[in-house]
Amino acid sequence: MSDLKTALVTGADRGLGFAIAKRLLGEGFRVFAGKFNSEYTLLEDLQKDYPELYIVELDVKNPEHMKAAAAEIEKISGKLELLVSNAALMGMRTEKPSDVIDGNRGFDPELMAAFFMTNSYAAPMLVDTFLPLLRKGEMKRLFFTSSEISSVRLMRRTGSFRYGMSKTALNLGVRMIYNTLRPEGFTFRLYQPGWMKHQFPDGSLAKTAIVDPADSAKEAVRQMLEDRLDEDRLVLTDYLGRELSF
């Protein structure tokens, strides 16, 4: 085992997760990158330049995948400095609850549960599974990718309700983790990455949306590596460094 700082990044196949993993490697971290989507081989390509990148199969809805990843990190690093909980199902802007009364059933329970388990409940499950390793790490920092759509106060939308509700639930889950682990010295980041351009399997980016994953990852990594003057407030910050209300 070496003294390299170790991070786990979930949802690292593409987009923000991939860009965060790459940036952390550049910062000298050993990175365990959670892979879910076999269509994407960006991580395998990156591995050629960074021997400290380890790819782990990680469907965050699957507790067995989490345990296997924890066993591998235990074997190779014996500790974990930084957990980046980023994996998520994305929402469709056209899905509106108001569609229900227009004859389309909007609240599909199976889809709702899938969004909750992936985007929300996976976060406490990850912390629960990796906590013994995180307690051995020096940083004890937990980073969660949230969204501005999680803000009930700022909500003006009529669609994306599955994604929105899942991110509000995530924020509450992070609050509960904070209540347990902040007294132990753990520190927390809740991050709104902006409306990001979709990344295709060949690495190219869609023209729609406004933020490049690499740009958002730059700010995300700055926020995850810098200490704050006040770590005793749980705040949601965006890719421009602004604080958003819940």
Binding site for another protein (CB under 8 A): 61, 63, 96-98, 100-101, 105-107, 109, 112-113, 116-117, 120-121, 124-125, 127-128, 131, 149-153, 155-161, 164-173, 175-177, 179-181, 234, 245-246
Least distance from another protein to the Cβ atom of residue 243, Å = 13
| Shortest CB 13 distance to another protein, Å | 22
Residue 199 forms beta bridges with which residues? 205
CB of 51 to another protein, least distance (A): 32
Distance (Å, rounded) from C-alpha 185 to C-alpha 178? 10
CB 67, min distance to another protein, A: 11
Cβ closest to another protein, residue 2 vs residue 98: 98
Question: For the chain, how long is the longest CA-to-CA vector?
Answer: 60
Q: Which is nearer to another protein, 120 or 199 (CB)?
A: 120
Residues near 77 by beta carbon (within 8 Å), at least 6 away in sequence:
1, 2, 4, 6, 30, 133
d(CA 141, CA 182): 10
Query: 109 to each of 9, 112, 115, 198, 208, how far by Cα in Å?
Result: 28, 5, 10, 26, 29
Nearer to another protein, 107 or 200 (CB): 107
Is 234 buried (19+), middle (13-18) or exposed (0-12) by CB count in 10 A? middle
Give the residue with the Cβ less far from another protein, 176 or 209: 176
Nearer to another protein among residue 31 and residue 60 (C-beta): 60
Least distance from C-beta 45 to another protein, angstroms?
32
